[in-house]
Amino acid sequence: MTNKENIEISKPPLKNLRQMITGLRLFPKTHDFFLYFNQLAVNISAGSRLLCQMIAKKEQRVDLLKELKDCERKGDRITHEIINLVRETFLTPFDRSDMHNLVVRMDDILDSIYHIGNRLTRYDVDAIPDELVALADLVLASSDQVALAVKDLSHPKKFQDVLKHCVEIKSLEKKADITLNAAIELIFNNGSDAFQLIKLKELSEKLEATTDQCKNVANIIEGIILKHA
């Protein structure tokens, strides 16, 4: 007969198990991801508005640039928070690579907006052509559409609305292409100061390139929806 007193009941090595899953979120709060993405998107829109103010109000550019820098730093912090959350979480709401690409491309938009504001301030540009103002407005409109798309990304029932925002972002990018051509034509036909011409051309091209970055974000979002619709 087996002596029950000699039987040792093996217990799971809880300590080792805890060590294995330390820092790994097996059951994440998915709203954390969308909360951070939404914060980043709203921050991009805020940066775009600051840039439009900088174009319109030369006397306030230095102070507005400081605000824009704070905005850009906030965006970097949110971006790093999302990347860390993706790395530490076992189950993510979307594919890891898609989430990483989305946050990096969104952060690129804000980086570009800051660099444009910085160049605008350092170049000390006086007369801003209407076409350049229009390009800045298109950047703002595109940023707002990105924010709207990201806001509804956590709701599968609103995926159709998200796709409409993505279509609008692409439409705005096409308008930016047309506006850029008009801006460059105007700059070189009506300007005489070579240095001013170069500055305005560069700023115009960078503004249009920012709408391209918004389109890249729209493409990533469309890809995410395609996988999860």
Contact present, 154 and 31 (Cβ < 8 Å)? yes
Please tell me the pTM assigned to this model.
0.85
DSSP designation for 124 = T
Residues 6+ apart with CB under 8 A from 65: 54, 117, 118, 121
Model confidence pLDDT, tens digit, residues 57-75:
999 999 999 999 999 999 9
Instruction: Give the H/E segment covering residue 101.
Output: helix 96-123
The SS3 assignment for 51 reads helix
Q: Does the pLDDT of residue 53 top 60, yes or no?
A: yes
- As a whole number, mean pLDDT of residues 90-100 equals 90
Contact present, 112 and 136 (Cβ < 8 Å)? no
Model confidence pLDDT, tens digit, residues 175-193:
999 999 999 998 888 766 7
- As a whole number, mean pLDDT of residues 139-155 equals 96
**Given the structure tokens 């076992």, which residue do they identify?**
90
CA dist 190 and 28 (Å) reads 58
- Categorize the per-residue pLDDT at 229 as very low, low, confident or very high, splitting at 50, 70 and 90: confident
Question: Which domains, from first to last, does the chain contain?
Answer: 29-228 (1.20.58.220)
pLDDT at 16: 52
pLDDT at 29: 58
